[in-house]
Chains A and B, each alone.
Chain A
Amino acid sequence: MRCGDLKESYLEDEKIFQTAFVKFWLVLLFVVLISLPVFASPYVMYVANIIGFAVIGAVGLNLLTGNTGQISLGHAAFIGVGGYATAILITRVGVPFWIALFLGGAIAAAVGLVVAIPSVRVKGLYLCIATLAAQFILEWVFVHWETMTRGIRGINVPPPRLGSLVFDTERSFYYITLVMVVLAVGFARNLLRTKWGRAFVAIRDRDLAAEIMGINLFRHKLAAFALSSFYAGIAGGLWVSFMKVVTPEHFPFSRSIEYLAMIIVGGLGSVLGSIFGAIFMTLVPELLNVLSGFARHFVPGLEQLFIPMKEVIFGALIVFFLVFEPHGLAEIWHRIKNSFTLWPFSY
């Protein structure tokens, strides 16, 4: 029986896959994920794609907010920048999707830097406020820069192709999403083991101490912000290619709050938490949707309450987790797992 892990060096402690046991379950998970399109319905595949985009966005935001301790209230706007940049590059410039996706991420990161440079210089809440301003300014730009974004009419985006393969269904696009999610999660998980990742955490825990230890705060905060905007841009690029259209109303302030809710519910500062949070917060509205569709037969007019109900539940989840379980679902998961591994001798 497995009861605990003996580790004899830091190298062992930092391993991503701690035991053969973990590797086994991960392989099983991948087999399930890869074979999912074979037996799942298009609706399930649609939700799976949406969850994938949310995971990428949430992992990015968690690197900034959970690990570096800087709040961004404009994550949705940067997702929008990535989405629009990708769409414009594909339709106007004719760049293939695969390059446009990464260029879109880079453009989102560049726009993020313009916002962040002044506010990251000074301590305090300024980044939070500046990103809030960026959210509203960028939303305005999406609507009013008609020569570029075509305003509220939006831009139609062709599906990605690779040779003769066209990724235009939920099933085929799922594989692009899956690859990108694996890359995004793998990069974040590895980054946190490097010098940079540890510097981020040091800045969050005590900025003065971090600076004394030789961490250049400005550069690291900026890097964290650029990275999170890059993730947002990638999520946006995938989103618009999947939806085949991009319009300004996809990136409202409430979406930024949704992303914050994801990482708070999932667990601040934990990659696993971002994944849990993204899955959870995407499934809750879908479930609510199904439930309200079901309850419509008994209580007419209930479906109009869907949007406000969603807001109330999201807000309540944020408040509840911050007050009662600040480490989120990831911590609950660890507790359950530990009580199983040590069972029946857990204390």
Chain B
Amino acid sequence: MDIIPQIVISGLAAGGVYGLIALGFVLIYKATSVLNLATGEFMTLGAFVCLTVMTQSSAPFYVAFLTTMAFAALLGIIIERTILRPLIGEPIISVIMVTIGLGSILRGLTHIIWSPEYRSFPPIFPPQPLNLGFAVVPSGLSWGFLFAMVFTAIFATIFRYTRTGLAMRATASNQQTALSMGISVKSVFALSWSFAAITAAVGGVIIGNISGISLHLGNIGLKVLSVIILGGLDSIVGAILGGFVIGLLENFAGVYLDPLLGGGTKEVVPFVILVIIIMIRPYGIFGKETIERV
């Protein structure tokens, strides 16, 4: 059968993008222990901004892409400064509910500014598909995968090897100690939010390139929750590998379970996996095992 390599390839490609978006979740969670449930809306917004810059000013893709990244970074900083910072010290459930409210605002605004109909990106990547011999990869998927990998590598490198990354890791490990070492925890928070907004926006642009842009693009943001639960809420390696696993399982389910269960399994399988993981291993594959049974 040739169908299996095909499924594996598209699963891995989708998984790469999931990993990138999951990285945004993990960065915020590590630095501020907040789950950003507005990630999906960041993605949609990023994709729409990129599309608008490209179509309105007929700018080349790389200009639009850089503009989108700058916009996302700014958005992340503004949101952190105006909404999240007053809530430092509040119970964590208030902070999570604020991100839900934020998501609702952004979704509504996106809907108002850009009408809800489906659009497709102007062709950016060379259209010829990549032929691997055993499977043919559509160009959108292969380029999307490449982009996702490059960005994941960049952010992982920043986090692992630079001074900024060190400050972020120190803050994640203990905020008060980090503060006493002269690290500005506030700017680390702002930085984490802007990094997360950038990863989400890049993820949105990639997904928009592969499957078109609509307001439902952001639903993937919630699906990615299963990736970070699988990989471990605080693990970057886990986010990347978890992305591949979820991408693969979802694509296999889409092919093999859809005929049995009547369609739409691709959307629901990640959530089923999520529930199973919480049952057997709530800290994920690579997460820290600090499970308090209280």
A: residues with CB less than 8 A from B are 65, 69-71, 73, 115, 118-119, 121-126, 128-130, 132-134, 136-137, 140, 143-144, 146, 207-208, 211, 217, 253-254, 257, 260-261, 264, 304-305, 307-319, 322-323, 326
Is B8's beta carbon under 8 Å from chain A?
Answer: no
Provide a sorted-by-A list of 15 A–B residue pairs whose CB atoms are within 8 angstroms: A69-B91, A118-B279, A121-B282, A124-B292, A129-B225, A132-B225, A133-B225, A136-B271, A254-B104, A310-B108, A311-B111, A312-B109, A315-B106, A322-B94, A322-B98
B293: A residues at CB distance < 8 A: 121-123
**Does B87 lie within 8 Å of A133, measured CB to CB?**
no
Chain A contacts for B192, CB-based, 8 A? none
Q: Could you tell me if B109 and A308 are in contact, using CB atoms closer than 8 angstroms?
A: yes
- Minimal beta-carbon separation of A210 from chain B (angstroms): 9
Chain A residue numbers with a CB within 8 Å of B222 are 132, 136, 253
Q: What's the Cα separation between A122 and B107 when bound, in Å?
A: 32
Residues of chain A within 8 A (CB-CB) of B86 are 323
In the complex, how many angstroms separate the beta carbon of A147 from the nearest chain B beta carbon? 10
Residue of A nearest to B283 (CB): A122
Contact across chains for B271 and A309 when beta carbons are under 8 A apart: no
CB-based contact B97/A322 at 8 Å: yes
Interface of A (DSSP majority class): helix
In whole angstroms, how far apart are the Cα atoms of A114 and B274 in the complex? 14
Given contacts A128-B96, A312-B108, A326-B90, 20 further A-B pairs with CB under 8 A are A71-B97, A119-B282, A122-B292, A129-B35, A129-B229, A132-B222, A134-B275, A136-B267, A257-B100, A264-B101, A304-B115, A308-B111, A309-B108, A311-B111, A312-B105, A313-B108, A315-B103, A315-B107, A319-B83, A322-B90
On whether the beta carbons of B87 and A316 are closer than 8 Å, the reply is: no
Q: Within the assembled complex, what's the spacing in Å between the Cα atoms of A304 and B92?
A: 36
Whether the pair B105, A316 counts as a contact (CB closer than 8 A) is yes
Tell me the smallest distance from the CB of B280 to a CB of chain A, in Å: 8
CB nearest to B93 among chain A residues: A71
Q: How far is the CA of A64 from the CA of B226 in the complex (A)?
A: 24
Contact check, B96 vs A71: say whether CB atoms are below 8 A apart.
yes
Flag if B93 contacts A65 (CB, 8 Å). Answer: yes
Q: Is the CB of B108 within 8 A of A323?
A: no
- Residue from B100, B108, B262, B279 having most chain A Cβ neighbours under 10 A: B100
Question: A195 to B47, alpha carbons, bound, how many Å?
Answer: 52
B102 interfacial by beta-carbon distance below 8 Å = yes
B3 at the interface (CB under 8 A from A): no
Q: Does B264 count as interface, using CB distance less than 8 angstroms? A: yes
- B232: min CB distance to chain A, Å: 13
A314→B292 CA distance, assembly (Å): 34
- Most B CB contacts (10 A, CB to CB) among A254, A304, A315, A316 go to A315
Smallest Cβ-Cβ distance to A313: which chain B residue: B108
User: Shortest CB–CB separation between residue B18 and chain A, in angstroms?
Assistant: 16
A307 pairs with B111, CB closer than 8 A: yes
Chain B interface residue count, CB cutoff 8 Å, equals 47
Q: Per-residue CB proximity of B111-136 to A under 8 Å, as 1/0?
A: 11001000000000000000000000
Binding site for A on B (CB under 8 A): 35, 83, 86-87, 90-94, 96-98, 100-112, 115, 222, 225-226, 229, 261-264, 267-268, 271-272, 274-275, 278-279, 282, 291-294
Alpha-carbon gap, A319 to B106, bound state (A): 12
Contact across chains for A133 and B112 when beta carbons are under 8 A apart: no
Query: Given that A129-B229, A129-B278, A308-B112 are known contacts, is A137 also in contact with B268, CB under 8 Å in the complex?
Result: yes
Residue of A nearest to B83 (CB): A319
CA of A123 to CA of B105, assembled, Å: 29
- How far, in Å, is B222 (CB) from chain A's closest CB? 7
The CB with the most chain B CB atoms within 10 A, among A115, A254, A260, is that of A260
Closest Cβ of chain A to B264, distance in Å, is: 6
For the complex, give the distance between the alpha carbons of A47 and B203 in Å. 42
Which of B101, B115, B274 is within 8 Å of A322, CB to CB?
B101
Task: Output the nearest chain B residue to A253 by Cβ-Cβ distance.
Answer: B222
Contact status B275-A137, CB under 8 Å: yes
The answer to whether A264 touches B97 (Cβ under 8 A) is yes
Cβ contacts under 8 Å, A316 to chain B: 101, 105
Residues of A within 8 A of B226 (CB): 133
What is the minimal beta-carbon distance from A269 to any residue of chain B, in angstroms?
11
In the complex, what's the smallest C-beta–C-beta distance from B181 to chain A, in angstroms?
A: 27
| A122 and B229 alpha carbons, distance in the complex (Å) | 13
Nearest B residue to A321 via CB reads: B101
Chain A residue with Cβ nearest B268? A140
A residues in contact with B279, CB < 8 Å: 118
Q: Is the CB of B107 within 8 A of A318?
A: no
Q: Which residues of A contact B92 (CB under 8 A)?
A: 125
Find chain A residues with CB under 8 A from B97 CB.
Answer: 71, 260, 264, 318, 322
Interfacial chain B residues near A70, Cβ < 8 Å: 93
Q: Which of B90, B103, B225, B271 has the most CB of A within 10 A?
A: B271
Kindly provide the distance from the CB of A132 to the nearest chain B CB, expressed in whole angstroms: 7
Q: How far is the CB of B282 from chain A (nearest CB, A)?
A: 5
* Residue of chain B at shortest CB distance from A145: B262
The reply to whether A146 and B262 contact each other, CB–CB distance below 8 Å, is yes
- In the complex, which residues of chain A have a beta carbon less than 8 angstroms from the beta carbon of B98? 318-319, 322-323
Contacts of A310 in B (CB 8 A): 108
The smallest beta-carbon distance between A208 and chain B, in angstroms, is: 6
Shortest CB-to-CB span from A207 to chain B, Å, is 5
| A211 to B83 Cα, complex, angstroms | 33
User: Which residues on A sit within 8 Å (CB–CB) of B87?
Assistant: 322-323
> With A119-B278, A140-B264, A261-B101 given, is the CB distance from A311 to B108 under 8 Å?
yes
A218 to chain B, nearest CB (A): 8
In the assembled complex, the CB of A292 is this many whole angstroms from the nearest CB of chain B, namely 13
